[in-house]
Amino acid sequence: MLRQYELVERVKAYDPDADEDLLNRAYVFSVKAHGSQLRASGDPYFSHPIQVAGILTDLELDDKTIATAILHDTIEDTVATQEEIERLFGPDVGRLVDGVTKLSKIETQTESERQAENLRKFLLAMSNDIRVLLVKLADRLHNMRTLHHIPKEEKRRRIARETMDIYAPLAERIGMYGFMEEMQELAFRHLEPEASDMITQRMARLRETTGANVHRITSAIEGVLRSRGIAASVTGREKRPYSIWRKMQARQMSFEQLSDVMAFRVIVDDESDCYRALGIVHGRWPMVPGRFKDFISTPKSNGYRSLHTSVLVGGEAARIEVQIRTRLMHEEAEYGLAAHWAYKQGKDGASAREAYPWLEDLLEVLQDAASPEELLENARLAMFQDQVFVFTPKGELYQLPGDSTPVDFAYAVHSDLGDSCVGAKVNGRAVPLRTRLVNGDQVEILKGKVKSPDPAWEAFVASAKARAAIRRHVRHKRREELLAMGAKLLDAVAGRLKVALTDEIMGPALGRLKLHDRPSLQLAMAENRLTDEEVAEALVPGAASRPSRARSARAKAAASISIEGLTPGVGFLLCDHCRPVPGDRIVGVRHPDGPISVHVIDCDHLVDESGEWLDVKWGAETAGAAARIAVVVHNQPGALASLAASIAAHNANIVGLALKHRDREFHTDLVDIEVESVTHLATILTALRQLQAVVSAERVRL
């Protein structure tokens, strides 16, 4: 652990004007406040904030940030208060400490709610002063370095998963690749210990056989550049186990099939030398097609700049990755925002939103989240994705997540443009909105007069901003439908009671129901949170004691209804041809002389239906429905038994079975199974396709 004078000397070494008294007082206060508290490792607790401060001195941060690091756990883990911190160390340090402080654990909240609320508060504080993020990242990095001391494996995995999903992407977003890579590596050891050990062992064996090659290749690159008049520093390094594992997973390759596990970094004096060095390297060794990326002319959204290429070297044609950058680019790549921190230019930390526009988008996305789970999903989408670069017709450059579509582009330009999007042109040609964009595309959005995003877009958009906006529109539309339904139900109750819904009647009734206004009452009735009897009793005390055949019939219908968008009590039938199941996009058709029929939106029989189309969707309480699948199996003993066993293992019930046709080698069975949702059905189909006896398994319609 750093001693008091050592920490102060570190700060004074790079900032002679630092407030030495502030640092000394913060050190002493933290030691006294934490007292005899111990960490899981058995070390004194105050060693943790001191080590966090030490990490930040390596980034040469200002004295207030270092003091914040020293004090960051005092409010949560000791009797110290924010008012006391502000009084002793000033309002800036008090504000920063409050931004870093975690929320107290509330036992009634779920884990996802605690994590989501912590993230929301943290991001809001970070948007006001990015130094909050720098301290938090250093705090999480040191916690990850000591995570192995925590005895409970479940807790270690939870912290590691949170680090991988939230904090490592945040570090990447502000260009702090050193922090990002170390956090990912430490989390990987706890999340995938067997894979981590396997790759580490194989890298050790590879190092024994290729150590000389690294030195030889380094010398060869330096030599060819020097011969052409470019002074360069060249270093070779192994890729980290997590990076190798992720590439193995993405490409479905074994370790032995990977060829570019070594990366070489070329550091030159200026930007023009970067491109000269690239030309010399490509002239000396064959380039691997499709592996060149120019992040100097088009930097990443976090400011990262460098040239990346892969070439084949040596007689064995080994593939290596080469990164070419200047010394300034290298410093920014290692430490990101901290490499040119605002205080060095005499500014404060309040320019985070200007410096990082993605932060403003992320905050907008988080505000649109309807649940903790959705908030965390949106945060991961927004922070941890590959990028694609596209242009507007005027030549403005936009960076989007990989696999983005014109809809993602429209929302990236402006939320209103996304809501009004009706079509798109890519490179001058009209394309479907689900078209995947590639680097260099020029995108033009065709705008309609009405703001009405299609709910189906959510199935193919890639950006969190687009997904959140579509979900927000769907929620608003559903609210409007529920309000309309609730208004009809309320009018029906008032009609039976023969009362007018005047302010004199509604005011006392809302008070009895503990609701604020009439829309709240309509929503409660539409969502079955209030019964007709309860509303009648509130409108006319004593009315609920009267028998009501209408209400009992409605209650019976409501108990079995599984489709939202229909008036409770109205009968409906699921189409026997398309057999919709929960998760399918559905539509209802009202017939003048029969019940409403419910179809999958692309059902072939819809063209023969005559009647009014209704906008409906599955209710939250839907228990499931029967789907029909066609399974082609080998004509061999036990084939049908293995099929039935697999379906049963996935908690599905066979309700119908028919042999469609049979020949010498194969037979095709039509199987009706009860499933909970489209996702449940997809899981069953995937499992069936893995069976040795099964040739194919597909969902079918008549």
Residue 498's φ and ψ, nearest 5 degrees, are 55, 50
Please list, in sequence order, all residues whose beta carbon lies within 8 angstroms of the beta carbon of residue 511, skipping any fewer than 6 positions away: none
Rounded CA gap, 522 and 544, in Å?
A: 18
Integer-rounded Cα radius of gyration of the chain: 31
Q: Are 605 and 639 in contact (CB under 8 A)?
A: no
Q: How many residues belong to the chain?
A: 702
The dihedral over CA atoms of 85, 91, 95, 100, expressed in degrees to the nearest 10, equals -40
Rounded CA gap, 396 and 165, in Å?
A: 31
Please list, in sequence order, all residues whose beta carbon lies within 8 angstroms of the beta carbon of residue 530, skipping any fewer than 6 positions away: 513, 521, 524
Q: Are 286 and 311 in contact (CB under 8 A)?
A: yes
Is 420 in a helix, a strand, or coil?
helix
Question: What residues act catalytically?
Answer: 76-77
Residue 622's φ and ψ, nearest 5 degrees, are -60, 130
Rounded CA gap, 324 and 539, in Å?
A: 76
DSSP output for 513-551: HT-SSHHHHHHHHHTTSS-HHHHHHHHSTTGGGS--HHH
Q: Are 15 and 62 in contact (CB under 8 A)?
A: yes
Across the beta sheet with 262-268, the strand order is 233-238, 262-268, 318-326, 307-313, 293-294
